[in-house]
Structures are given as structure tokens and as C-alpha cells.
Amino acid sequence: MKLYELPGEYKPLLDLKQTELAIKQIKEIFQLNLSSSLCLRRVTAPLFVLQGTGLNDDLTGTEHAVSFPIQDMNGAVAEVVHSLAKWKRVTLADYEITPGHGIYTDMNAIRAHEELDNLHSLYVDQWDWERVMTEDERTVAFLCSVVEDIYTAILHTEFAISEHYPQLVPSLPKKITFIHSEELLAKYPTLTAKEREERITREFGAVFIIGIGGKLSNGEPHDNRAPDYDDYSTRNEAGYEGLNGDLLIWSEVLGKAVELSSMGIRVDKKALLHQLQLSGKEERLELYFHKRLLAGTLPLSIGGGIGQSRLCMLLLKKAHIGEIQASIWPCEMRSACKALNIPLI
């Protein structure tokens, strides 16, 4: 457990009742903006999937999903989802979604491994989205155009919520800055990856870092990614590896960069085989999801997740994710937050 040191004295701009209403308004406004911008239709998502299908996201590969046996299925085990990165791609195929269109859903997850702090909770809620694309759209330029659409939806939501609550003065930059993780390393060669994120996001306010998961020139990845959903190894038109990235926004309240979204162009057959080989995870080729991808029954796609509670935190200028969502927090954290005038739900 850790609590970030706030750069100044904290006073919530909305009381508890206003906050609850504003959360509802943000979620309604943003998902309407997102779905209309990217041509997405809403679908119903699972809370858990069967173990051993390859449908669950294993994140960096070290986290273990919360699981339980299913009494009426002869001991088959269900896993609470970490995210729906692979499930969505199967759903695109099953719903026969055409290129240029896609799906979004409310994803609710439990991540029991999280180290709890202002931004990390046991409970994760995000808009998971996925869109069918064509072969010629597998470029970093297309990736960036989709990021710009998402960021525009965020800006529109920020403006709309400020119309309801004038004390929430819009502060996001009008444009998002793009930089590849290799360029970021060259810019700040003596800093760690997280320190580089902090520095660039503080400078520009809103940043999309391209290329997450592949090794950089220093022999290390900017951050880890599972090898079987985002394509982080294909060389893009700029000459760097990676067709994925992270969207970060600077929080003046926290004095920190907040990762709002992880997204990317998904692996095709070639990238899947290559990344599984690089990571030593070739045994996954026998799983349901991977077999379908190799058989060509899943469409090319781009997708990601956008943190619901984190977006509300940023737009409502909150200091702790526990002001947005109901979760479990250590007694010491609740006491420390109370002393800092941070009211946890």
C-alpha cells in the first residue's frame, strides 16, 4: 500500500452527492461520444471466462486471475477477467462486424495482485472496445488517427461536464502529443521508463507513447505486454517497432502522469507467431483463441481499454480513485485519506 504525496492542499470541488451524479453524467456522455466517433455498438460482456481457452488477458504474464470451480461443469474452472482484449476479437467474428465498425462494452474485473494506491484498486472498470480494420490500415498513422478520435471524445466530455459544474474548469490541452518509446528513451537516456513517462506528460499534458512491449535500444521494453494481443514487434512506417501504445494525461491534483488507456493494432498471424517465440510462450498455440487466429477466423482489429474511474478522476479533479468507485482499502489508507480531506466511498 502507498499513498501519493499531493503537491498541494486538497479540497474536493464536488461533494459526495454531486460526485455521484457527475460520475453518471461523464459515463453517459463519454460512451456516446466514443461509440459515435469510432462506429461502435454496445455488447454485453462476461465477468468471467473458462480457464484454458486463452480468452483471458494475462496482462504482463505474472498476474494470476481470481478463479473458482463450476459445480455443474464437472470441475471446470472459471477465471474473473483481467480485461477483454481477446474475447472482443472473437465477438467481432461471431457478430460478423464489418471493417470500420466495432463494439464496446463495460468491463468489470478483479485484480487481486494490485499494489493499492491513488490510481490502483482491486476493482477495475473500463470501456473495452474493438474495431475491425483492413490490412492497409495496419500502420502507426492509422493508430494515431484513432487515438485522436478518442482524445477528442475526452475533450468533448470535459467541456460538457464543465457546463454542469462551472468549478470544473477545462484544463486538458487541445491536442495530444505522439512520441515513440525509442524517441522517448533518446530524449531522456538517464531516466527510468516511468520517469520518462512523468517527464514527457508533465511537459505536454496529454501524450500517447507508441511501442510498448518490444525491446528498445537499451535492451529493455518500455513496459511489458502479453505477446498475444497487441502487435509490438512489427516495424512501422517510422522505422520503429510497435503498433500499440499508452495514453497518459497529467493530473495537476496528483502531480503525476495518469495512464488512461492502453490500446493498439492487434497481432496478425505473423506477429502472433513471432511474439510467442520471443516470449517463450509457444504452448499457447494450442489454446482456443490462438487456434482461431491462426486458422484465419478472426478479423484484423484495433482495440483497447479506457479506464472509467480514472477518466472520472481526471475530469472531476479528484485525488484518489476511491472517490469514484466503491472498493476495499486498508484501514491505514482510509485514515491517511481522511487526514488529507480525501473522502473515500
What DSSP assignment string belongs to 270-285? HHHHHHHHHHT-GGGG
Give the angle 66-60-299 at the CA atoms, nearest 5°: 90
Q: What is the pLDDT of residue 159?
A: 98
Cell of 68: 473458482
235 in active site = no
Q: Which of 58, 246, 268, 323 does the annotation list as catalytic?
A: 246
Report which of residues 58 and 197 the model is more confident about. 197
What's the alpha-carbon Rg for the chain, to the nearest Å?
Answer: 20
94 in active site = no
Check whether 242 has a pLDDT greater than 70.
yes
Q: What is the pLDDT of residue 212?
A: 97
Check whether 82 has a pLDDT greater than 80.
yes
Q: Which of 18, 259, 279, 292 does the annotation list as catalytic?
A: 259
71 in active site = no
What is the pLDDT averaged over residues 164-182?
98
327 in active site = no
42 in active site = no
Check whether 184 has a pLDDT greater than 80.
yes
111 in active site = yes
Q: What is the pLDDT of residue 112?
A: 87
pLDDT band at 83 (very low <50, low <70, confident <90, very high): confident
Check whether 75 has a pLDDT greater than 90.
no
Q: Which domains does the chain have, with CATH numbers?
A: 16-339 (3.30.930.10)
